[in-house]
Amino acid sequence: MATIKHLIHGEPVADDARTTDVFNPSTGQAIHTLGLASRATIRKAIDSAQAAFPAWRNTPAAKRAQVMFRFKQLLEANEQRIAQLISEEHGKTLEDAVGELKRGIENVEFASAAPEILKGEYSRNVGPNIDAWSDLQPIGVVAGITPFNFPAMVPLWMYPLAIACGNCFILKPSERDPSSTLLIAELLHEAGLPKGVLNVVHGDKEAVDALIEAPEVKALSFVGSTPIAEYIYAEGTKRGKRVQALGGAKNHAVLMPDAELDNAVSALMGAAYGSCGERCMAISVAVCVGDPVADALIDKLVPQIKALKIGAGTSCGLDMGPLVTAAARDKVLGYIDDGVAAGAKVVVDGRGFKVAGNEEGFFVGGTLFDRVTPEMRIYKEEIFGPVLCVVRVNSLEAAIQLINDHEYGNGTCIFTRDGESARLFCDEIEVGMVGVNVPLPVPVSYHSFGGWKRSLFGDLHAYGPDGVRFYTRKKAITQRWPKRTSHEAAQFAFPSNS
Ligand code: NAD
């Protein structure tokens, strides 16, 4: 098995004193060994980024943007190769892998507008012969720590924009599916990125702690589970760093009695079972307003869940692949056991599901629970698997209350034909991203992504305009060039225009 290396100063670097296996979840076989970075390797990456920063911050934004243009072209030219690597190590279907890459490329497109984004603001004659402007300057060396579920897209939320803003970046991708992430970083170098501007280090807590503790790392972007997000936010901010830490989720879809049920069912199928439920924006709870809606929904969902095409992620034409690891599969199975024991009605049971020819793969079949109540663990906790829970309520107000009482607030949506209900929902719901007849309201790259409550720690959302604010520091400059011949007397009163 090949050992995957780190990418430091544009070169592959071996550090494999400690290693972990990377699996193909469709076959259940280990396919690579991954070296886990020691503190010494993290130090090399930081030194490389520090050394690259002065020249990169002074490179014209238009030139930085040109690197992003070439990067986008290379990503498009290598789409199938990247999607294959994602599917092989993550298990998601090839089509889904292409989808995440395309959404990632949108962030490269946004970063390509760096000269426009970084223009700042200018005011002439704010006082006598005084001009003022604000400048958006890079913050230095920044680091990103990313999850397994979007090995292409989530890193692309971070470093293209950070780099286009003039920063140098150290990426610590997930140790479970690092190959596509690494290939994409190599393509950025092929696009002309100077050495040291982006370094990729693989690793676990040791690597992350070394990044948190290094004074040279000025900001940390994290995406992953809530306990780690809380840890990184607390440790990073304690050291005076900027931190943006996106955490877990439990996303509800509200079905109103006037919803177009067939469309809502199609939307729910994709949002609950796509990527085997391993999306932070996956819908895992259907909140039905009234028993007739719940009964009709379940009648329509059951045959479709039973007909899900499940198999090796790298095959074409599938709906769903396996979970990422044996541990992830066992965790999901544990939740299903727990739901049954707690008294929820398992309408479709994905336990014991096998794919012929891939019996060792980490598969779980699509699962549907009815009569789920808020005190059950399957309702409260993020399952991150192909499990949809139906909760029955009597009114829209009760649905809103239920969602607002949940500790997570990443995404939510409502299915209705009624504008008044939709408007009330958008106004009152305490969730960061809201869809109206849109099941996965993931903002496009020129808006920003972020949840509320325990789904995000920090003030700013990820990518888009908030990403620019996160990866830059504002400087306000006030300038006067007095005439050589004029003499100005000292002023002791605070200067103003009135
Ligand atoms: P994870 O928290 O296990 O890992 C995320 C990153 O943190 C990885 O790079 C991992 O190596 C690192 N890490 C793990 N343990 C650590 C520790 N003890 N100390 C420091 N770093 C550590 O998350 P995951 O399983 O890779 O991803 C799934 C989770 O990510 C889900 O909870 C999902 O909701 C969340 N997620 C959230 C968003 C969002 O935008 N809010 C997007 C994608 C995924």
Write the CATH number for 394: 3.40.309.10
Residue having the nearest C-alpha atom to atom 40 of ligand 1: 246
Torsion of CA 74, 79, 81, 85, to 10 degrees: 110
Q: Is residue 150 part of a domain?
A: yes
pLDDT at 487 over 90: no
Residue with tokens 């379940």: 298
Same domain, 257 and 219: no
Mutate to test the pocket of ligand 1, among 235, 280, 463 (most ligand atoms within 8 A of CB): 280
Which helix H or strand E contains 19, and what residues bound it? Answer: strand 19-24
Instruction: Work out whether the CA dihedral 80, 81, 82, 87 comes out positive or negative.
Output: positive
Which residue's C-alpha comes closest to atom 22 of ligand 1? 205
| Catalytic residue (one of 168, 280, 389, 413) | 280
User: Is 263 in the same domain as 341?
Assistant: yes
Give yes or no for residue 146 CB within 6 A of ligand 1.
yes
Q: For the chain, give the mean pLDDT.
A: 97
CA angle 147, 214, 150 (to 5 degrees): 10
Work out which ligand 1 atom sits closest to the CA atom of 203. 11
Q: Is the shortest distance between the CB of 351 and ligand 1 below 6 Å?
A: no
Residues forming beta bridges with residue 411, ordered by sequence position: 433
34, 36, 149, 442, best to mutate for ligand 1 pocket (most atoms within 8 Å of CB): 149
For residue 274, give the DSSP letter: G
Say how many domains are in the chain: 2
Ligand 1 geometric centre to CA of 203 (Å): 13
Residues 6+ apart with CB under 8 A from 181: 146, 151, 152, 155, 171, 173, 174, 200
Nearest CA to ligand 1 atom 20: 205
pLDDT, mean of residues 30-53: 97
Domain membership flag for residue 486 = no
Q: Which atom of ligand 1 is nearest to the CA of 224?
A: 30
Q: What is the pLDDT of residue 495?
A: 86
Question: Do 243 and 318 fall into the same domain?
Answer: no
Is position 414 within any domain?
A: yes
Task: Give the distance, in angstroms, between the CA of residue 167 and the centroid of all CA atoms in the same chain.
Answer: 20
Nearest alpha carbon, ligand 1 atom 26: 147
pLDDT of 498 higher than 90: no
Residue 240's Cβ-count burial label (10 Å; 0-12, 13-18, 19+) is exposed
Q: Does residue 360 share a domain with residue 216?
A: no
Residue closest via CA to ligand 1's atom 23 equals 224
Residue 221 has pLDDT above 80, yes or no: yes
| pLDDT tens figures, 170-179 | 999 999 999 9
Other beta carbons within 10 angstroms of residue 137's beta carbon come to 15
pLDDT of residue 379: 98
Pocket perturbation via mutation, ligand 1, pick of 20, 107, 181, 204 by most ligand atoms within 8 A of CB: 204
Identify whether residues 290 and 332 lie together within a single domain.
Answer: yes
Q: Residue 444 domain-assigned?
A: no
Does the beta carbon of 167 lie inside 6 Å of ligand 1?
A: no
User: Does the Cβ of 411 fall within 6 Å of ligand 1?
Assistant: no
Tell whether 271 and 418 lie within a shared domain.
yes
Q: Please check whether residue 450 lies inside any domain of the structure.
A: no
What is the domain-level CATH number for residue 50? 3.40.605.10
Residue 448 lies in a domain: no
Distance 174 CA to ligand 1 centre (A): 8
437: left (phi over 0), alpha (psi -120 to 50) or beta: left
Tokens of 374: 């808020």
Handedness of CA 449, 453, 458, 460 (dihedral sign): positive
Mean pLDDT of 107-113: 98
Residues 243 and 255 in one domain: no
Whether 497 has a pLDDT exceeding 90, the answer reads: no
Which tokens belong to 317? 């034409």
Pocket test for ligand 1, best of 107, 170, 223, 408 (most atoms within 8 A of CB): 223
Let me know whether 194 and 47 are in one domain.
Answer: yes
Query: What tokens were used for 467?
Result: 């990403």
Q: For residue 419, give its domain range.
A: 251-436
What Å distances lie between residue 218 and 75, 86, 185, 224, CA to CA? Answer: 29, 30, 21, 20
Annotated catalytic residue 426: no
Among candidate residues 404, 436, 468, the one where a domain is terminated: 436
Q: What does the pLDDT look like over 445-472, one tens digit per residue?
A: 999 999 999 999 999 999 999 999 999 9
For 282-324, write each residue's pLDDT tens digit: 999 999 999 999 999 999 999 999 999 999 978 889 999 999 9
pTM for the whole structure: 0.97
Q: Residue whose CA is closest, atom 24 of ligand 1? A: 147
Residue 486 clears pLDDT 90, i.e. is over it = no
Q: Is residue 429 part of a domain?
A: yes
**CA 456 to centroid of ligand 1, rounded, Å:** 12
Q: Distance from the CA of 342 to the center of ligand 1, in angstroms?
A: 28
Q: Does 275 share its domain with 158?
A: no
Check whether residue 423 and residue 404 sit in a common domain.
yes
The whole-number pLDDT of residue 484 equals 83
Question: For a pLDDT cut of 90, what percent of the chain falls above it?
Answer: 95
Is residue 290 located within the same domain as residue 406? yes
- In this structure, the answer to whether residues 377 and 407 fall within a common structural domain is yes
Neighbour count for residue 469 (Cβ, 10 Å)? 17
Report if residue 128 sits inside a domain. Answer: yes
Count CB atoms within 10 A of the CB of residue 189.
18
User: Ligand 1 in contact with 148 (CB < 6 A)?
Assistant: yes
Helices 261-273, 291-306: axis angle to 10 degrees equals 50
**For ligand 1, is residue 201 a contact (CB within 6 Å)?**
no
Tell which of 436, 469, 487 closes a domain: 436
